[in-house]
Amino acid sequence: MDRVRDKVVLVTGAGSGIGRAAARLLAAEGATVIVTGVNRAGGLETVQQIAGPNSGGRARFAEQDTSREADWQRVIDDILAREGRLDGLVNNAGIAGPFPSTFESETLEQWRRILAVNVEGVFLGCKYGVPALRASGGGSIVNLSSLAAFLGTPDLAAYGASKGAVRQFTKTVAIDCARKSYKVRCNSVHPGVILTPMGEGILPSEKARERTRQRIPIGDFGAPDDIAWGILYLISDESRFVTGAELVIDGGMNAI
């Protein structure tokens, strides 16, 4: 119950799926969680699940579009003013776009929107999060990438490209912070096929779902909590010697 006791952690895109699971687990392990996202109703529901009368956790919601620089400035400034520190940042917010989307069929507008959220959002999170973490004595950033960062994704061209960028950028931030002795770690998490609202969107039928399940060596899909446990480890001090790493949580798919 105390793996991240008294830490203040910002989790973006926490109105559903992996973000919600991470926010709930971090709060259960003692953190104060700032839940953000464009999904206000979902974010408030996450906070209710954490901080409701029968839960006892600490959380609050802040509306945020992670692709907007002004939103990052506002949210980080507000955390420092209200909580007084920032110890962890989970850059989880992301979109997949329409499915299927090949590089020939995808529009430039769709491409730019996906990269704005998935890549620029992570860039802005690190740009404004690192100074706040450093001023708080150090901390940990977890960037949500994907198994798609390692594989070709012909049906999700922009999504795959965006997650590859997150994978590389994470290492850049990690090494830069380490060389400058910022005491800020930065790691990426790479989920496989996880049954979230976004994950289910790329499995349009029971036939497609079963075909995909058969490709997973462990024999089943992942759940949001499976990813949340990895995020918890990387935010906690248990991973104090881990930076620039890739935590793949995919049921074995990347090992094939």
Provide the token pair at 198: 């976004």
DSSP 236: S
CA distance 32 to 84: 12
Residue 205 and residue 57: Cα distance in Å, rounded? 38
The catalytic residue positions are 159
CA-to-CA distance for 121 and 89, rounded, in angstroms? 12
Contact indicator for 191, 147 with CB cutoff of 8 Å: yes
Buried b (16+ CB within 10 A) or exposed e, 183-205: ebbbbbbbbbbbbbebbeebbee
Phi (first) and psi of residue 12, to 5 degrees: -85, 155
Cross-strand pairs, 88 = 9, 140
Please state at what angle helix 224-235 crosses helix 17-28, rounded to 10 degrees.
Answer: 50
Angle between helices 157-179 and 121-135 (to 10 degrees): 20
Neighbouring CB atoms inside 10 A of 151's CB total 14
C-alpha span between 57 and 29 (Å, rounded): 9
Strand partners, 63: 37
